[in-house]
């Protein structure tokens, strides 16, 4: 059991350490999928393993043991997990649960606020134009996914550039990018080791939309130029101070421009395979931990229990 | 179709963008010119008619053709709510996917260089 626990936790650390670097080498769409699904499964496996480890100690508490058929003495003798590790896991779990709940409350509040703001908009899937001199464009995460753009930005762009910006936001909307981002942040909210992965996903999601926009206008250099010019225009006219929010997760614009100036990224099945293998190893590890945990408690419940060498 | 594959509703969005950027009423010919793409006149007409049905665009007679104008939502609540979204910070901004985030001074310099570089490369291509 100790081996399965150690392997699962070691592989999950390996995934968290390598995912950001490997993810950046992949084309953005598969990178987003494999990083998000991977970090969620790895986090779930970790939590599961921690819970089993914690329960080998919790199960020894008299009040808890009274609820089950196992003997505390037998359990303590057969338990291969050091008590300190099990107590540590039992103390860590409520902390992680609190972190997760806090994150969920904050994000739900934000999503509801955005939902409220969009409630009065007409029920069409067309563009929402806000009449202001400010330069801004974004996609909302609500059910319809609205693309909101200011007249200031529309006027500042040439027709071809407008097509790039709109195609970029349409990609965000059609591929539900806000939700991929939230899923990546969810893993990071539970496990801070995935913060760097979530930041990478914020980047790959933007790259995904950039690549879609470049495909839509069939001109990578036009897409690159539009991105650079729009970013500079917005920056020069912006009144907002550098902020947190996406600030923490700000996708870095020069890298995106350089990627568009380079040829389209090539598929990398080996890298995807490696990340998938790591994530699957975590799932199998968690399953092994679960099986041996079950066996441990069955063993401690058998009346004809004898101490083995 | 000029180039590339268009996304769902892509052309409709572009037409709304053209009308909203201009602000005044435009004939289909003007819209077609402003789109800056090689589109058939009838394609533009079809899209304008569809937008009209949806109530996003209004039309009135201008000589022999119709002139189209983007409907401006003058509702106070909508305007205020949209401003709130533009001003969104921290948590609320984090759930919106923005075209670009904030730039550092280094980013700004690097982007200006990249832009100069691509424009020069573009000029060379044009000469060729």
B12-47: per-residue pLDDT in tens? 889 999 998 888 889 999 999 988 777 888 999 999
pLDDT digits (tens, 9 = 90+) for A60-74: 888 888 888 888 888
Directed axis angle between helix A177-190 and helix A83-118, to 10°? 150
Per-residue confidence (pLDDT) for residue B78, from 0 to 100: 76
Domain ranges in chain A?
2-301
Q: Which residues contact A197 (CB under 8 A, 6 or more apart)?
A: A16, A19, A20, A23, A35, A39, A184, A187, A188
| Rounded-to-integer distance, Cα B78 and Cα B9, Å | 23
| Rounded-to-integer distance, Cα A196 and Cα A114, Å | 26
Residues of A within 8 A of B37 (CB-CB) are: 159-160, 163
Query: Which residue is listed with tokens 């609205």?
Result: A146
Distances (CA, A) of A184 to A34, A139, A212: 11, 18, 21
Per-residue confidence (pLDDT) for residue A18, from 0 to 100: 96
Type and span of the H or E element at B121: helix B105-127
CA angle in degrees (0–180, nearest 5) for A22-A28-A33: 80
* Low-confidence winner among A63-72, A177-186, A253-262 (lowest mean pLDDT): A63-72
Nearest in space to A160 (alpha carbons), one of A223, A111, A104, A105: A223
Strongest mean pLDDT among A226-230, A239-243, B75-79: A226-230
Distance from CA of A269 to the nearest CA of B (A): 26
Least CB–CB distance from A246: residue in B10, B23, B94: B94
Per-residue confidence (pLDDT) for residue A128, from 0 to 100: 85
Whether residue A242 has pLDDT greater than 50: no
Q: Tokens representing A136?
A: 């801004």
Q: CA of A202: which chain B residue's CA is closest?
A: B97
pLDDT digits (tens, 9 = 90+) for A18-62: 999 999 999 999 999 999 999 999 999 999 999 999 999 999 888
Interface test with A, best of B6, B78, B101, B106 (most A CBs within 10 A): B101
Whether residue A285 has pLDDT greater than 50: yes
- In percent, the amount of chain B with pLDDT more than 70 equals 87
| Rounded-to-integer distance, Cα A195 and Cα A177, Å | 18
Type and span of the H or E element at B109: helix B105-127
Provide the pLDDT confidence category of residue B102 given band limits of 50, 70 and 90: confident
Count Cβ atoms below 10 Å from residue B30 Cβ, excluding itself.
Answer: 18
Interface test with A, best of B74, B100, B110, B125 (most A CBs within 10 A): B100
- Taking only Cα atoms into account, the Rg of chain A, rounded to an integer number of angstroms, comes to 25
SS3 B98: strand
Query: Which residue is listed with tokens 């953005």?
Result: A28
| Rounded-to-integer distance, Cα A30 and Cα A23, Å | 9
- DSSP H helices in chain A: 2-25, 28-58, 62-65, 72-78, 83-118, 151-156, 159-174, 177-190, 195-217, 220-237, 253-261, 269-301
Of residues B126 and B54, which shows the higher confidence score? B54
Pick the CATH number of B2-70 from 1.10.10.10, 1.10.3430.10, 3.90.110.10, 3.40.50.150: 1.10.10.10
**What value does the mean pLDDT of chain A take?**
88
Residues of A within 8 A of B90 (CB-CB) are: 243-245
Cα-flanking dihedrals φ and ψ of residue A167, to 5°?
-65, -35
pLDDT digits (tens, 9 = 90+) for A109-120: 999 988 888 887
């Amino acid at each position: 059991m100790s081996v399965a626990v150690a392997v699962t936790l070691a592989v999950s650390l390996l995934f968290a350490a390598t995912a950001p670097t490997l993810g950046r080498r992949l084309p953005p769409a598969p990178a987003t999928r494999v990083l998000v699904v991977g970090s969620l499964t790895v986090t779930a496996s970790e939590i599961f393993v921690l819970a089993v480890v914690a329960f080998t100690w919790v199960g020894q508490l008299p009040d808890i043991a009274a609820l089950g058929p196992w003997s505390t003495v037998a359990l303590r003798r057969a338990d291969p997990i050091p008590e300190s590790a099990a107590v540590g896991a039992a103390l860590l779990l409520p902390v992680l649960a609190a972190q997760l709940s806090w994150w969920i409350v904050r994000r739900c509040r934000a999503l509801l606020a955005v939902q409220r703001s969009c409630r009065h908009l007409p029920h069409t899937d067309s563009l929402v134009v806000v009449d202001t001199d400010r330069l801004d464009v974004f996609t909302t995460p609500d059910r319809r996914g609205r693309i909101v753009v200011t007249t200031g930005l529309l006027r500042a762009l040439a027709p071809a550039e407008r097509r790039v910006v709109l195609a970029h936001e349409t990609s965000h909307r059609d591929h539900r990018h806000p939700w991929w981002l939230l899923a990546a942040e969810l893993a990071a909210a539970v496990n801070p080791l995935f913060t760097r992965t979530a930041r990478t996903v914020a980047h790959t999601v933007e790259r995904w939309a950039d690549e879609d926009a470049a495909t839509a206008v069939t001109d990578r250099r036009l897409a690159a130029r539009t991105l650079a010019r729009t970013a500079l225009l917005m920056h020069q006219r912006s009144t907002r101070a550098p902020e947190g929010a996406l600030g923490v997760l700000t996708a870095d614009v020069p890298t995106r421009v350089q990627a568009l100036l380079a040829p389209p990224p090539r598929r990398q099945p080996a890298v995807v395979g490696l990340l998938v293998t790591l994530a699957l190893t975590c799932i199998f590890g968690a399953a092994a931990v679960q099986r041996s945990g079950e066996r441990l408690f069955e063993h401690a419940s058998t009346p004809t229990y004898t101490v083995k060498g | 179709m000029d180039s590339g594959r268009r996304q769902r509703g892509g052309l409709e969005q572009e037409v709304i963008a053209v009308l909203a950027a201009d602000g005044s009423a435009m004939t289909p010919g003007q819209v077609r010119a402003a789109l800056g793409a090689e589109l058939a006149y009838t394609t533009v007409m079809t899209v304008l008619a569809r937008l009209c049905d949806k109530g996003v665009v209004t039309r009135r007679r201008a000589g022999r053709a119709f002139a189209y104008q983007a409907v401006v939502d003058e509702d106070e609540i909508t305007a205020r709510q949209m401003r709130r979204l533009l001003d969104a910070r921290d948590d609320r901004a984090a759930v919106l996917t923005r075209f670009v985030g904030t730039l550092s001074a280094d980013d700004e310099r690097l982007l200006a260089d990249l832009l100069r570089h691509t424009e020069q490369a573009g000029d060379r291509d044009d000469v060729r």
